[in-house]
Amino acid sequence: MPARHRNIVPGFPHLLHGGDWNPDQWLDRPEVIEQDHQLMSEAGVNALSVGIFAWAALEPEEGRYEFAWLDAILDRLAKDGRKAILATPSGSKPAWMSLKYPEVRRMHNGVREPHHTRHNHCYTAPVYRAKVAAINRALAERYARHPALGAWHLSNEYGGDCQCPLCWDAFRAWLQRRHGSLAELNRAWYTAFWGHTFSAWAEVNALDRTMHAMTLDWRRFVSDQTADFIRAEAAPLRRLTPQIPLTTNFMGTYPGLDYHRLAQELDFISWDAYPDWHPAGGDDLDTAAHTGFNHDLMRGCGGGKPWVLMESTPSSVNWKKLSRPKQPGMHRAASLQAVGHGSEGVLYFQWRKGRGCSEKFHGAVVDHDGRSDHRVFREVAALGATLGRLGAAVGAPVVAQAAVLYDWDVAWAIDEGQMQRNCDKDYIATAMDHHRPLWRRGIAVDVVSQRADLARYRLVVAPMALLLHPGVAERLESFVRAGGVLVATYLTGQVDHNDQCFLGGFPGPLRALFGVRAPEMDTPPDHVVQTLAPTAAGTALGLSGSYPTRHFDELLVAEDAEVLATYAHEWYAGTPAVTRRTVGAGEAWYIGARGDRRLADDVVGGIAARLGLERALDLPLPEGVAAQARGTGADRLVFVENFAGAPRTLALGPGWRDAESGAPLAELALARYDARVLARA
Ligand code: GLA
Ligand code: ZN
């Protein structure tokens, strides 16, 4: 990990502040655009994502480009010292194209979609790829040396699939590359089941959800084909503007695409975070913990490098059943949380509310009244000033000694798998629950895939790793032998990458490493909460009292492992539920039941404490206070937010100052939603 990463926007050593701006909706109202430029200065905005859905404005007729309006926008941004994150417009195709070239529209169940909404182009159709390449080339040629060009924003939120004949042809070609022969495909897909053996490639022509390996391959293909589309989109940009980095905006745990795969095509990761602040019946602390996980997952997709919060709302959204405005202070807290987790800035959807259509009531920095004296604008402007004072954060790394494994293949296998329990499977929530003990202690965590290099970590937590990619078991074993601590849970090591069960007992190839076997599993109904009890060995390692379990109880046989807890209920009372095996210099823990948050906290938090994993602050954080560090040594910055819903105080002791004001800080009094950045004194 370098002491400091390079600036995301070359030659622009500032945290980014700004967001999606659609001047193409206001071309007949130049006074509104002029007002925007002025308000941007007032809000301390330095980066705008422009042109995201502007294809119809840029190419109103086939082959006739209209760049004058965009020239004026970029010229003015440059004059005002701002950067454009210039979008390629492929997220929304013009109507003339849909009519003239029907194959650009997606197809499902044999029916082609009409021209409507957005994000619904076929990613295989050669004509669409050619049109995208042409407009991208024209944009790159025109703006290659424009001083406002800071980064490329490829399309918008790639997602979904298309099942047109072209996509099916591409899928079959992909399968031939992956499996080599039809005989191999039949083997990999276990087609003997229900007599589904294929005798010709042409027979592979419809998705069958009962064939899990097929649907897994389909999802992998959709990711690969989207990545291939991205590569084609990016080609003219890479050729004409090699110095300009490119990204596209991800969506956290969005299930439709394997972001680990897509990340390989990008120079930096960016994502759109719309946490459920002030949730009905919940609390902000849960939301903050989940958001911390998502930030860590997105950073993990980029190999741990800084990333960008590409969209967030300054107030509310308009697409949830209920969306309340962020309460005073929450905007600053949520934004600094993102920067603490490695974001190189804070960008919004959207700079100004549009007048019509489906997002006219979505929160924005500038409302329909065009005023800068209302609360939302003021909080945004104050954050702009704060980010302006935090130049020291730019490029500062997040150094994590712990990792949580999260994989899209696992998510898909769990989702598709018809199991003993087909409700409350909750892979994402379980991953979050095992990330939280670290997060709440201010310990940096990378959320990474099974294929990541684990050597840099001391603790790896692998929740519900149902599917194991080839070689992963061996790599986990070397990680442990070399001194790492590995924690796995119920539903580990059951299927291979073709979604076929491992023979010889679960957790499959990890059976020897954990020294356990899980021959049976109980799946009590939702309302049945049972308990497990620590053994003396478990108590010695910090387990205490009794822990409720729900949903999944694996009945473990400890073949070669210490038993740390056993079930205290049902006919399997006394059966091992939590085990540990010391292996080489490390340890392999197995949690066979879905315990409560306290169990995850006692296990994962206990291990972190024993290993002495580095914390953002060397003190116990009061409940509800989050802290994350960026940078190392004297350059270290600590981002602290209070999500508790009540005031909190931290006794910091000597050696700290407020990074914004420079004032020394021995005690930190945080009002509700307060957020501060600390630097070494
Ligand atoms: C997404 C899109 C934006 C906008 C916002 C609204 O993130 O990328 O264009 O629709 O949602 O929250
Ligand atoms: Zn298609």
Using pLDDT thresholds of 50, 70 and 90, give the confidence band for residue 181. Answer: very high
Q: Residues, the chain, total?
A: 681
Q: In the predicted model, is pLDDT for residue 567 greater than 80?
A: yes
- Asked if residue 250 has its Cβ within 6 Å of ligand 1, the reply is no
Using pLDDT thresholds of 50, 70 and 90, give the confidence band for residue 344. Answer: very high
- Asked if residue 349 has its Cβ within 6 Å of ligand 1, the reply is yes
Q: Clarify whether 141 is annotated catalytic.
A: no
DSSP-derived pairing of the beta strands 648-651 and 667-670 = antiparallel
For residue 430, give the nearest of 567, 280, 596 by alpha carbon: 596
> Phi, psi (5° rounding) for residue 338?
-60, -45
- Asked if residue 409 has its Cβ within 6 Å of ligand 1, the reply is no
d(Cα 298, Cα 308) in Å, to the nearest integer?
9
Residue 236 lies in a domain: no
d(Cα 337, Cα 677) in Å, to the nearest integer?
10
Catalytic residue of the set 157, 344, 416, 477: 157
The protein residue with its alpha carbon nearest to ligand 1, atom 7, reads 272
Q: In the predicted model, is pLDDT for residue 101 greater than 80?
A: yes
Q: Clarify whether 31 is annotated catalytic.
A: no
Average pLDDT of 257-270? 98
- Asked if residue 272 has its Cβ within 6 Å of ligand 1, the reply is yes
Using pLDDT thresholds of 50, 70 and 90, give the confidence band for residue 410. Answer: very high
Q: In the predicted model, is pLDDT for residue 1 greater than 80?
A: no
Domain boundary among 327, 362, 391: 391
Residue 542 lies in a domain: yes
Residue 167 lies in a domain: no
Q: Is the peptide bond before 507 cis (omega within 30 degrees of 0)?
A: yes
Q: Are residues 281 and 383 in the same domain?
A: yes
Q: What is the dihedral of CA 417, 421, 423, 427, to 10 degrees?
A: -60
pLDDT at 282: 78
Percent of residues, the chain, with pLDDT higher than 90: 98
pLDDT at 115: 97
Query: For 277, what's the count of Cα atoms within 13 Å in the CB-facing half-sphere?
Result: 24
- Asked if residue 362 has its Cβ within 6 Å of ligand 1, the reply is yes
User: Which has the higher per-residue pLDDT, 514 or 530?
Assistant: 514
Which numbered atom of ligand 1 lies nearest the CA of 274?
Answer: 12
Average pLDDT of 141-167? 98
Mutual angle of helices 284-301 and 427-439, in 10-degree steps: 100
Q: How many domains does the chain have?
A: 3
Residue 166 lies in a domain: no
Contact 82, 88 (CB under 8 A): no
Q: Name the residue of 21, 248, 349, 350 to mutate for ligand 1: max ligand atoms within 8 A of Cβ.
A: 349
Domain boundary among 550, 579, 611: 611
Q: Is the peptide bond before 401 cis (omega within 30 degrees of 0)?
A: no
d(Cα 432, Cα 429) in Å, to the nearest integer?
5
pLDDT at 226: 98
Tokens standing for 75? 């010229």
Percent of residues, the chain, with pLDDT higher than 70: 100
DSSP-derived pairing of the beta strands 270-272 and 307-311 = parallel
DSSP-derived pairing of the beta strands 547-558 and 530-534 = antiparallel
Q: Are residues 382 and 311 in the same domain?
A: yes
pLDDT at 2: 81
Using pLDDT thresholds of 50, 70 and 90, give the confidence band for residue 549. Answer: very high
Q: Are residues 528 and 592 in the same domain?
A: yes
When the pLDDT of each residue in the chain is averaged and rounded to a whole number, the result is: 97
Average pLDDT of 349-354? 98
d(Cα 385, Cα 357) in Å, to the nearest integer?
33
pLDDT at 528: 87
Residue 351 lies in a domain: yes
Q: Are residues 135 and 246 in the same domain?
A: yes
Using pLDDT thresholds of 50, 70 and 90, give the confidence band for residue 46. Answer: very high
CATH number of the domain bearing residue 597: 3.40.50.880
pLDDT at 511: 98
- Asked if residue 294 has its Cβ within 6 Å of ligand 1, the reply is no
Domain that holds residue 24: 16-159+242-391
d(Cα 645, Cα 288) in Å, to the nearest integer?
12
Q: Which ligand is nearest to the CA of 53?
A: 1
d(Cα 408, Cα 467) in Å, to the nearest integer?
10
CATH number of the domain bearing residue 283: 3.20.20.80
pLDDT at 171: 98
Query: For 534, what's the count of Cα atoms within 13 Å in the CB-facing half-sphere?
Result: 17
Q: Are residues 253 and 378 in the same domain?
A: yes
Average pLDDT of 509-524? 97
Q: Are residues 506 and 416 in the same domain?
A: yes
Q: Which ligand is nearest to the CA of 108?
A: 2
pLDDT at 281: 80
d(Cα 171, Cα 163) in Å, to the nearest integer?
9
Using pLDDT thresholds of 50, 70 and 90, give the confidence band for residue 254. Answer: very high
Residue 168 lies in a domain: no
**Is residue 378 within a helix (H) or strand (E), and if so which, with residue range?**
helix 375-389
Average pLDDT of 74-81? 98
- Asked if residue 156 has its Cβ within 6 Å of ligand 1, the reply is yes
Catalytic residue of the set 59, 103, 311, 379: 311
Q: pLDDT tens-digit profile of 436-491?
A: 999 999 999 999 999 999 999 999 999 999 999 999 999 999 999 999 999 999 99
CATH number of the domain bearing residue 638: 2.60.40.1180
Q: Whole-prediction pTM value? A: 0.98
Residue 216 lies in a domain: no
Q: Are residues 481 and 629 in the same domain?
A: no
Instruction: Give the other-Cβ count within 10 Å of 585's Cβ.
Output: 11
Residue 164 lies in a domain: no
For ligand 2, an ion, list residues with CB under 5 A.
122, 124, 162, 164, 166-167
Domain boundary among 579, 611, 643: 611
Average pLDDT of 416-437? 97
